[in-house]
Amino acid sequence: MSANNLPIEKHELVIVGGGPAGLAAAASARESGVRDILIIERDSQPGGILNQCIHNGFGLHTFGEELTGPEYAARYIRRVQEENIPCRLGTIVTDISRDRRITCISREGVSLIDAGAVILAMGCRERPRGALSIPGYRPAGIYTAGTAQRLMNIEGKKIGKEVVILGSGDIGLIMARRMTLEGAHVSAVAELMSYSGGLKRNIVQCLQDYGIPLLLSHTVTNIHGRDHIEGVTIQEVDEHRSPIPGTEKYYPCDTLLLSCGLLPENELSRAAGITMNRVTGGPDVDESLSTDIPGVFACGNVLHVHDLVDYVSEEAARAGRSAARFLSSGQDLEKDTAAVVLKAEGGVRYTVPQYIHPSGMDDKLTVRFRVDNNYRDRYVSVYFGSERISRQKKRVLAPGEMEQVVLTKEKLLSYPDTKEITIKLED
């Protein structure tokens, strides 16, 4: 049967992704009155990446206690199940059209779904080795850190005994500790940048507590071994990230883990024609987390890579409420004020959202952002046009830690001529 002859399902709200963002969005939409919700998840169970994150540290903001990843996921899975929200597992979404028609593939074949609203919650993926331009053969023993984590924590497999990690993303830091606890020796964590991309607490708890060296401004420049990795060459890099001759050092190893960044999973978003942000890698959104396709919202790591899952859940809950408002209004959330553009300057890499309709705001709006380097004793300043309306002293700012400012609807409406809001760092 051709796609043109397939029966078409109809649902009020379809959520693409059953990880922490999708589950929280579904729970929030139900609380906001949406009765017909369908979650589509490609894995065999909901929960997403949390299922392989068996360490604790999740949930302090959301539940006021430290949970493991599976425990955190289980709380949202239970909420969704108690609300009888269906989660269609083992199903891959291959296309989303601008009129919100969704094409899916599963063991049962191809199916078409017309959605009143869509929430994109596909999460993110690891940057692969092919994107890193490391010379050498392609021997066995090279894994992304997330793949190694899944093999160890889900499938119960041993990975290696002598380990080098390239990149200091949070998963790589956590796997340095995990490998050590399993009896492996982690020789070093090499980081191309002059700062770590991971949370400070992970640097302390996963590296410093175990005496694992973090080599900043270093990278792997050669992989040795043809059939199986035998070692790597690590070199220091200059301010242009080019290897410095004479700084080569050989590290024998049987395992190389790559933890070189996460990329929002947005092939569907791009194919749908959604406007993407070149810095975050996710869609541009407004205060309701709406993309520029009416009725299509985005949240979680598909929007921008978060540092804490608690913030993913908080953001996803906003997307659920926004989708519910869209469905109840029967039209896009058109605002009676023009969009105000949010600009990131002076050490701020990006903001989410990227623009705001003041009349469409809740009373308060949390704007999250990241900085582009390590800073000490700086002010985070907010400008409405050329007028500075707030500044907050921050002792330490780091790229691995998300920051935020809170804007109020009352304040913004009192500046009706504002066309740009700038968030920047100042001395």
Q: Is the peptide bond before 353 cis (omega within 30 degrees of 0)?
A: yes
CB 141 within 8 A of CB 254: yes
- Within 60-208, residue ranges assigned H as helices are 60-63, 69-82, 145-153, 170-181, 200-202
DSSP state of 276: B
List domains and CATH numbers for the chain.
6-125+262-332 (3.50.50.60), 128-260 (3.50.50.60), 335-427 (no CATH)
Question: Which tokens belong to 411?
Answer: 């304040």
The terminus-to-terminus CA distance of the chain in angstroms comes to 65
Question: Which tokens belong to 337?
Answer: 């004020």
How far is residue 10 from each of residues 13, 27, 100, 327, measured CA to CA in Å?
9, 20, 11, 14
Compute how many other C-beta atoms are within 10 angstroms of the C-beta atom of residue 186: 25
Q: How far apart are CA 343 and CA 83, in angstroms?
A: 40
**What per-residue confidence (pLDDT) applies to 338?**
78
Q: How far apart are CA 320 and CA 304, in angstroms?
A: 17
**Cα-based angle 58, 60, 66 (whole degrees, multiple of 5):** 55
**What per-residue confidence (pLDDT) applies to 335?**
55
* Helix and strand element counts for the chain (H, E): 9, 27
**What per-residue confidence (pLDDT) applies to 197?**
86
Q: How far apart are CA 192 and CA 218, in angstroms?
A: 5
CB 87 within 8 A of CB 41: yes
How far is residue 216 from each of residues 4, 169, 262, 423, measured CA to CA in Å?
55, 12, 19, 28
Dihedral pair phi/psi, residue 400, rounded to 5°: -75, -10
Question: Which tokens belong to 196?
Answer: 């770590």
Residue 69: helix, strand or coil by DSSP?
Answer: helix
**What per-residue confidence (pLDDT) applies to 1?**
45
Residues of the chain predicted below pLDDT 50: 1-2, 333
Beta partners for 234?
A: 220, 249
CB 215 within 8 A of CB 172: no
Q: How far apart are CA 257 and CA 44, in angstroms?
A: 26
**What per-residue confidence (pLDDT) applies to 148?**
95
Q: Where are the beta strands (DSSP E) in 346-418?
A: 348-352, 355-356, 364-371, 375-384, 387-397, 403-408
